[in-house]
Amino acid sequence: MVLQMVGKDILRKIAHIVFRVDKLKKSNIKEFAKNLRGKKILELGSGKKEKGHYRYSVKKFFDSSNLFLQSDINPNFGHKVIDAEKMNYKNEFDVILCLNVLEHTLNYEKVINNIYMALKPKGAAVFIVPVFYPLHDEPADYWRFTEHSLRKLLSNFKKISLNYSGLRQYPFAYFIKAIK
């Protein structure tokens, strides 16, 4: 069991080096955030602190003029507690970030609908979802999505742009921006 866990950790580290998933996240988020000012932003799944920093949160890439709300389903992580499957906002946010979260929700269609409803008109939802990626945070790692399934799931949005990390036929992760 210990060897199996160590093996998974090593494979994940190798995959991160080969496919540079952190670079995909950082470069796409930096580019997306660079001109945003005075926006109301909700980050779903901001995560826990590791070594004094929120490892998964991307708040640092956004200008301080934005109202940036960090959230997580886990009340022990120090953020506003929001369950994306149950959130009930209406036209409240300019941007909602759902980065490496969707695969951890049982009812991903409900989450996508809730995000859509919570966005203001012309608001942007930003997703990162793994595809060819080791299982993580088990047992709550439920799904993998294809480009075609993502486009279908996000079909209510007016505009969808999708980038991938890895090879076209073997994508490691997708970065999606969907405009309401």
Could you tell me the pLDDT band of residue 2, with boundaries at 50, 70 and 90?
A: very low
The pair of structure tokens assigned to 70 is 């960090």
**CATH number (domain holding residue 76):** 3.40.50.150
User: Residue 124 contacts by C-beta under 8 Å, 6 or more apart in sequence?
Assistant: 32, 94, 95, 96, 177, 178, 179, 180
Segments forming the whole domain that contains residue 168: 2-179
Closest CA to 175 of 11, 12, 27, 13: 27
Number of structural domains (the chain) is 1
Asked if pLDDT for residue 16 goes beyond 90, the answer is: no
The pLDDT, as a whole number, for residue 1 is: 45
Mean pLDDT of the chain: 86
